[in-house]
Every structure is written in C-alpha cells, then in structure tokens.
Structure 1
Amino acid sequence: MIALVIDCRTDDLGKAADFWGAAFGRDIVTRDQDGDGKYAELHTEPDEPFLLLQKVDHDPRVHLDIETDDLDAEVARLEALGATRVQFIKRWWVMQAPSGHRFCVVRQQPGKTGIDLNTWG
C-alpha cells in the first residue's frame, strides 16, 4: 500500500485539509498536489504511506492506493483474485474488491523510499 486516501465531498478542500491535518496532528504539505484543486497532502514520514485528501463527487469514504511498478500486471493479478476494473483515471485504475470496497492501483510514487515494495518476478 502506498496511500490512505480520504475522499471528501466538499467545495473547499482546504477546510478539509485543515480539519484532517489538525485531527491527525500533521502539517499540510500541499493544498493542491496536482494543480487541479482535487488533491491535498498531509505530512508523513518516509516509511509511512502518503496521507492524501481527494475532492470527489461521490459519498465521502476512505480508500487505499496500491502502488506497483507494472500497472498492467498488478491489475491483472488483482482481477485473477476477483477484483474488477471500474474506471481508468489520469494514470491509475479504480478497482473494486469482491467485498465491494473501492481501491486504486497506481504507479510507483517518488519520495517514499522507506516503504518496502513487492517484487514481481
């Protein structure tokens, strides 16, 4: 896992970042990670998953991001386990587990060198 993502249905992601930053005792790294106003990041240590806030139109929830160095292979592996593809967005897949939980499969992210990654042979 590379990120814990808090999906926020809000018109003001800055207010959500202020709340969650204070709730977790974390500084806000950026209020606009991609320049599109949809992502804010809270400070985490190098060996911790990213803590992101995402502005969404669906009901608020929390989801996980699974990081991979081979997007197609990881998506295929998860499909073989019973997950289904929901939607490709920007550069990642939104998927759904057999349990109904949504999660994302994302490409390797820079800056989290302390997290051990799975190695696929």
Structure 2
Amino acid sequence: MKADMILVDLERILRDPWLDEDLPIAEAFIHRALGQDVRTAIVGGRVVMEDGRMTTLDVDALYREIRKAGARGIPPRQRGHAEMLQRLKPHYQAWYNAWLAPEEGEPFYVLNRRR
C-alpha cells in the first residue's frame, strides 16, 4: 500500500532518549520513526488513519475473526510442518551455537585486530 501522505508525531523521535541538535530532522526521522508515530495516513485521497486509528477497518471485527480462526486450531498440514521443525530444532541450534565458540587466531575485522 502506498500512502499519498502521512502525518507523523515527531515528539518521541526528536526527544527519546536524546537527540544531537546538529542532527538533521530528516536523518532522525529515517533512523527513529516507527509505525506508532504515524498519526494520519491518506491513501488514494482517502483518510485511512486518523489520530493513530484505522478509519477503513473494523479492528474489533478483525480480532473476532482472528480469534475464531485460532479456535479452530492448526490445520493438519501446518501441524506436520511444526512437528518437522521441532525435530530439526536441536540440529540447527547446535549448528548456530558452534558460531559462538571462540575462534583461534587473529580476527579479520579491522576494529577487532590485536595490533
């Protein structure tokens, strides 16, 4: 979805936890802005979010539908995938845990070199 325009509350972006006064606002926005900072969004000329709340979506109805789907449980095919992933889990955990073992020799990254 592409927005024609968004209005963003800059208060948190420019305040928390601290912002160098020499940093351009645009740069702070790029690095700090989150979806929760969007107050208004206009798409195709229609306001789809106002005061941080969706105007084109019944969130309560959506949540009811999600709860109904969740109550049906996991479909058999998905359950099979989940079981397969549980069987694989110890193997990929062992693989990645090996990455945490200290390496011998000089590190290759310039900032971590010993000389």
Q: Do both share a fold (TM > 0.5)?
A: no
- Structure 1-normalised TM-score? 0.21
| Greater relative contact order, per chain length (Cα 8 Å cut-off, separation 6+) | 1
Higher Rg: 2
- Structure 2-normalised TM-score? 0.21
Q: Which has the higher strand share?
A: 1
